[in-house]
Amino acid sequence: MVHFQQIALSNGLFLGEILLASSRLNAQSLPMVLKIREQIEAWRHDPSLVAVLVRGEGERAFCAGGDIRALYHAMSQPEFLHEGDDFFRHEYDLCRELHRYPKPVIAWGNGIVMGGGWGIFAASSHRIVTESSVLAMPEISIGLFPDVGASFWLQQLEGRMGRLLALTGSRLNAADALAFGAAEFALPSCSFADLIATLQALPWNGVGERDAELASGALAALSAAWPCPLPEPVWLPLADEVAAICEGDDLLAICGRIQNYQGDALALRQAAALQAAGSPTSIYLTWEMAQRAQALSYDEVVEMEWIGARNCLRHGDFHEGVRAKLIDRDDQPQWSPKALTMVKVADIESFFQSP
C-alpha cells in the first residue's frame, strides 16, 4: 500500500508526500510501484507542486526492497513469470524517473533502506539519514544481484566501499552512509515535524534547479541546528583496508582476500561470512554487471539490469535463495554451482541475453 498527500506550503504551493506502507517493512509491490509512477507523473506537470518527499510508514523502515515473496510465487508458476518481469520493469523505471525528476525529491531514509528501497533513496536528489538508518544491497544472499541502477551508483561511493558492499551484502550505518557519499544530510528521527515545518516555510519558486539549491541549503542548516546522534562509523576507519582488499580487476583474487582476511576488524570478518554464504553465480554476475556498467549510460545500465533480472527469474539461484531465506527459512540454499571457481563464463554471459 502507498499513500499520497499534498502538504500546503506557506506561499500557496504544495509539497507532494509519498508514504510507503506495507506490513513487510514497507516493501514495494507491483501495485505500489504503478501507483507511485502514476502519481509522480501527475505531479511532474502540476506547477503548484514544487517538490516530492518520500518516506516509510512507522519507525522501522524506509523500504526494505521489493516484495520478494510475490516474485517467488511468480517464479514457482511459469504462467505468472510475466508478473515478475513487470515488477522489475516498473521498479527500474520508477528509479529512472526519480533519478531524472525535474523537481527536488527528498528521501527520509529512516530505519532500513535496502534493495529496491535503496534504489529509491539513491535516485532521490536529497538523501537524509537518521541515527537508525541501515543501508544495504544484500542480493547475493538470495541469488539475485544489486539492481535498481546499483551496478552504476553503488560504484560511485567513495573508495572501493561500493565494491565491497556489492560483493558481500554488508551494511552501512548512518555515519558511514554520510562518509562514503550514500547520503548528504543527517537528522534525528524525532525531528521529522521540524523538517516539514522547515520545508513549508521555504520561498519555493517552482524552478527545479533553484528549488533544489534552496532545499539543500535548508537541509544543511537544519542538520546543523538538529545534530543527529550518529552511531560510530564502522567502515570509515577501515577504508584503507577495504581499498586494498578490493583493489584490481581480478574477481577471484578480490574474493580470496575477503575470505582470507585475518585481521582484527569484526566488520571484515562478517563480510567474509556473508560472502561465503552467498550465491557464487550472483557474486560473479554482480561483478560482471559493475564492470560493464563503467562503459554504459545510466539508461543502458537499467536496461542491462532488467535483462539480467528477467534471466534470474527463469534460471540461476534466485528461486532457491528466496526459498531458503524467506519461504522455508532453513537458511540452507543449495547453490548451483556451489563455488565461485566452478562458475562458467558462458553461464554468466547468458544473463546478458534477452530471455
Which pLDDT value is given to residue 23? 80
- 63-78 burial by CB neighbour count: b if 16+ within 10 A, else e? bbbbbbebbbebbeee
Which pLDDT value is given to residue 316? 82
Measured CA to CA, the distance from residue 141 to residue 279 in angstroms comes to 6
Which pLDDT value is given to residue 353? 96
Q: How open is the CA angle 148-143-183, to the nearest 5 degrees?
A: 35
Q: Which segments of the chain have a pLDDT < 70? A: none
Which pLDDT value is given to residue 78? 87
Q: Do residues 157 and 182 touch, judged by C-beta distance below 8 A? A: yes
Query: What domains appear along the chain, each with residue ranges and CATH number?
Result: 2-350 (3.90.226.10)
